[in-house]
Amino acid sequence: MAIEIKAQKATAPASKPVRAAAPLWSRLNVNIDLGSGGPGLKERLLFVERLELLLETGVSLLEALKVMQLQTEEPRLAGIIGSMIDTVAEGKPFSLALARHPKMFPTTYVSLVAAAEEGGFLPQVLQQLRLMDEKNTRMRAAVVSALSYPAFLVAFSFAVVVFVLVVIFPKFHDLFLSIHDQLPRQTIILMFLSDFLREHWLPTLLLCGGGLGALVYGLKTPRGVLLRDQLKMHTPVLKHIFIQTYLNQSLTVIGMSLANGVPITVALGVAQDVVANSIFARFLKTLLSNVQQGRGLAVGFSETAFIPPMVRQMISTGEQTGNVAKVMQRVADFYARELDRRIAAFAKMAEPVMLMVMGAVVGLIVSALILPIFKLSRAVH
């Protein structure tokens, strides 16, 4: 297992057995915390692209890092590159230098770079990692774009309702009280809500804030995380988007790892850290267990209910022909395109639904205001 031998040169003899499923950086006895506000995806993409270009032009790794440190204007990133220079100058692997900064370089990077150092194809792996990050960035941007407009409509509708209840309804309060027995039910309900909000606005605000805080805290607990992950995997319409997202992420990492010589056990362990869903991570853990028992990958895929039939067939075919890495990359690319289509379709469906909801809310408020006025006008005439 080339990746394990390379990663442990600085810490242990190469012959010492290592659990392949454990995250690679956790086996390096390194714990450097950058604190909050450290470099993120944008800085990582820039770093990888520039390093890839320098290596392709024949510059050595150490010299490339020195050039990048001089050209970097962001102090934190310059400090990280300086730490990498010190590590590489000591003769230690570049993968170890990356592992010392886990907030910027996930286990996927460490594992694949370690394999690339063994095989001598570091620029090619850096290019693949950059393309993977760019694809994930485009996917995240598409999701945010699809959800931003419906979210705006929800927030705007809520603000309009609160404004009408607090500002508009009180102006008709005395008028509505004079014909209280003739008021429609929706007007009576909205009058009650208006009086309640005006008289108890501070407790209501504190209660809403406390409830929101409790919800956020609850979703961070183990039970809340499990509930959130279950909702993602079982909510109609949305579950297909989440499952395809997880398949794209995990199969991209596993396929890329296998294609670059990373052992399947290490690749499956890395994929568990990439996917942000405990249920899907449990599925990957089951795959790892099956592989360690000699059962192969196809069995785990075929026994999992949420895996689409096409994926089961493709993985089975790839395992039989010895082309699992290529098949996984093809399936990941297919789901990247399928996700774009589904997200666009979801956005088109969500917009009219939210407009209908807003129309219903506006209609309710208008009827609650206008109907009593019509009744009073008829009574006067």
Instruction: Return the CATH architecture of domain 2-120.
Output: Up-down Bundle (1.20)
pTM over 0.85: no
What band does 81 get if pLDDT is binned at 50, 70 and 90? very high
pLDDT at 329 over 80: yes
pLDDT value at position 30?
Answer: 31
Where along the chain do the CATH 1.20.81.30 domains lie? 2-120
Find the DSSP H helices in the chain. 2-7, 41-56, 61-71, 75-89, 94-99, 107-119, 122-163, 173-178, 185-199, 201-220, 222-234, 238-259, 264-274, 278-292, 297-302, 309-321, 324-380
Q: Give the dihedral sign, CA 327/329/334/335.
A: positive
Q: Which segment of 16-20, 173-177, 326-330 scores lowest on mean pLDDT? A: 16-20
**Mean residue pLDDT across the chain:** 81
Average pLDDT over residues 85-94: 92
Average pLDDT over residues 349-376: 80
Is the model more confident about 320 or about 365?
320
Residue % of the chain over a pLDDT of 90:
25
How far apart, in Å, are the Cα atoms of 167 and each of 158, 173, 359? Answer: 14, 11, 20
CA angle 288, 340, 126 (to 5 degrees): 55
pLDDT at 343 over 70: yes
Q: For residue 140, which of 249, 232, 50, 239 has the smallest C-alpha distance?
A: 249
Average pLDDT over residues 50-69: 91
pLDDT in tens, 243-283: 988 998 889 888 888 888 888 888 898 888 778 899 999 99
Using CA atoms, how far apart are residues 25 and 22, in angstroms rounded to an integer? 9
pLDDT at 7 over 60: no
Average pLDDT over residues 336-352: 82
Q: Which segment of 25-39, 168-182, 311-325 scores lowest on mean pLDDT? A: 25-39
What band does 103 get if pLDDT is binned at 50, 70 and 90? confident
pLDDT value at position 381?
Answer: 54
pLDDT at 208 over 80: yes
Q: For residue 101, which of 50, 32, 44 has the smallest C-alpha distance?
A: 32
pLDDT value at position 380?
Answer: 59
Average pLDDT over residues 191-198: 86
CB atoms within 10 A of CB 58: 8
What band does 379 get if pLDDT is binned at 50, 70 and 90? low
Residue % of the chain over a pLDDT of 70:
88
pLDDT at 240 over 80: yes
Average pLDDT over residues 144-169: 83
Average pLDDT over residues 22-51: 55
What band does 374 get if pLDDT is binned at 50, 70 and 90? confident
Average pLDDT over residues 17-45: 44
pLDDT value at position 4?
Answer: 36
pLDDT at 75 over 80: yes
What band does 154 get if pLDDT is binned at 50, 70 and 90? confident
Number of C-alpha atoms within 13 angstroms, CB side, residue 348? 6
Q: For residue 117, which of 12, 2, 10, 26 has the smallest C-alpha distance?
A: 2
